[in-house]
Amino acid sequence: MALRRQQGFKPFDKTRPLAQAIMKGWKKRSPADSLVISPDLELMGRLPVNERSSPYNGAKGYLLFLKESLDGRLPGFGEEGSGLQSTDSGTPSSSGAAGINGLNVVLTHGKPEQTVLSIFRTPEAGYQDYTVVEIDATALKEGGILTIDISVGSTEAAGSFDLFTGDSELPTEGAPLNALVSAWGISSGQSRRITYLFDRGQHFKLGATGDWHSEKGSVNAFWAKISVEPEQKSEPRKGSSAHLGQSPEDVMNTFVEAFKNLDSETILSMFTEDARETFEDDFEDMPEDARTQMSEILSQMEVLSSQYVGDEFHFQLRVPLAGEVSVKMRKVEGIWLIYDVVE
């Protein structure tokens, strides 16, 4: 391969979904493999040339191999194949495409960073079809900051990624309400980072699936660099509701709830120092009946949209009595804080 590159050949693109299916199917040190791959790029059977013995030797044996593949029996994979099976596209299984080699990452003090390369598939809108990456961080007994840098491949399907605790049951339909942090709608060729602060060694699961706005059944590849580093101990922020490792989506939701509850202390804790000086409210001095009435009005507040803009996170709110409000956040010392609010 090095010689081919010297001679001007383009490097092979391993992120393409078909390449990923082939890489998951080939057997180590096998000179040649027969692979059966579905139109949805699901592996259905594998027959290494050196293992064409009973019952798969000869023409009749090869025909048996093909029939078993089409019947969903996953010949050639043995126990490895259990993770490949999925139900129909209406209610996909949670194991997704992760089963061939096992997407297992073990993080230790000596090896705090690993990468994985795999594929995800787009389910029917409203369902989940996770490719699951198992993350073992139990060796880091004091905890740390788990960081996952995700890049999505070049085909059209966008990806959504959810981080769960190791003992969580991954949902097969509906929004992943039990996720610790999420990164949704990562478009073709785009990258995103998610972080999570944990205080003791534990297991995690990273679920990768197609975004509901992508075409059902479409497939794309993803690459993830998974790493952990010790938490940098610093003077805690008093009364802050935004903390290290918290996603901007979580900060946004906390901000909205604080406004609905007229919680000035929490709202102020989520601003940068400069923005805090310009924020004016008189919630604390309101008469009780006025507070109740205002809280009822603000209960109708809703998020209209949200998006990453470079290194920042922006979202639009519809606020009763004020109309549409634009809110902008950025990271300050690793913490997402609001620096601008414009009506």
Contact 243, 254 (CB under 8 A): no
Whether the CB-CB separation of 118 and 22 falls below 8 Å is answered with: no
Give the separation between CA 87 and CA 322, rounded to whole angstroms: 48
Q: Taking a C-beta distance cutoff of 8 angstroms, is the pair 89, 124 a contact?
A: yes
Cβ partners under 8 Å of residue 100, min gap 6: 24, 25, 43, 77, 80, 81, 83, 84
pLDDT of residue 199: 86
Per-residue pLDDT for 101 more than 50?
no
| One-letter identity of residue 340 | D
Under DSSP, the state recorded for 10 is P
pLDDT at 94 over 90: no
And the tokens for 85?
A: 């099976």
More confident residue, 87 or 136: 136
The b/e string for 243-264 (b: 16+ C-beta within 10 A; e otherwise) is: ebbbbbbbbbebbbebbbebbb
φ/ψ bin of 268: left (φ > 0), alpha (ψ from -120 to 50), beta (otherwise): alpha
205-252 residue pLDDT tens: 999 999 999 999 888 889 899 999 887 554 444 444 555 567 888 888
Q: How confident is the model at residue 56 (pLDDT cuts 50, 70, 90)?
A: confident
Average pLDDT over residues 28-47: 85
**Alpha helix (H) ranges present in 71-167?**
none
pLDDT digits (tens, 9 = 90+) for 149-170: 999 988 888 999 999 999 999 9
CA neighbor of 156 nearest in space, from 116, 185, 131: 185
According to the model, what pLDDT value does residue 9 have? Answer: 73
CB 48 within 8 A of CB 76: yes
Instruction: Tell me the pLDDT of the chain averaged across its residues.
Output: 80
At 12, the pLDDT band (50, 70, 90 cuts) reads low
User: Residue 36: helix, strand or coil by DSSP?
Assistant: strand
Angstrom distance (rounded) from CA 124 to CA 323: 35
Listed in sequence order, the residues at least 6 apart from 262 whose beta carbon sits closer than 8 Å to its beta carbon are 283, 286, 291, 294, 295, 298
pLDDT of residue 245: 62
Would you say 32 and 108 are in contact if contact means Cβ atoms under 8 Å apart? Answer: no
Provide the pLDDT for residue 86: 39
Most confidently predicted of 14-18, 27-31, 70-74, 178-182: 178-182
pLDDT value for 16:
79
Sheet of 104-106: strand order equals 104-106, 131-136, 203-210, 159-165, 181-186
For strand 104-106 and strand 131-136, is the pairing parallel, antiparallel, or unpaired? parallel
Using CA atoms, how far apart are residues 43 and 76, in angstroms rounded to an integer? 11
Q: What is the pLDDT of residue 237?
A: 41
**Higher-confidence position of 283 and 195:** 195
Mapped onto helix, strand or coil, the DSSP state of residue 62 is: helix
Question: Reading across the β-sheet that carries 191-198, which strands appear in turn?
Answer: 113-121, 219-229, 144-152, 191-198
60-64, 123-127, 137-141, 181-185: which has the minimum mean pLDDT?
60-64
Mean pLDDT of 83-103: 39
For residues 34 and 47, the answer to whether their CB atoms sit within 8 Å is yes
Which residue did the predictor score with more confidence, 326 or 99? 326
Task: Measure the CA–CA gap between 242 and 293, rounded to whole angstroms.
Answer: 28
Distance of CA 308 to the CA centre of its chain: 15
pLDDT for the residue 239: 41
User: Looking at 48-52, 111-115, 133-137, 336-340, which range is the least confident one?
Assistant: 48-52
Residues 254-309: tens digit of each pLDDT: 888 888 888 877 888 888 888 877 765 556 666 777 777 777 777 778 888 888 88
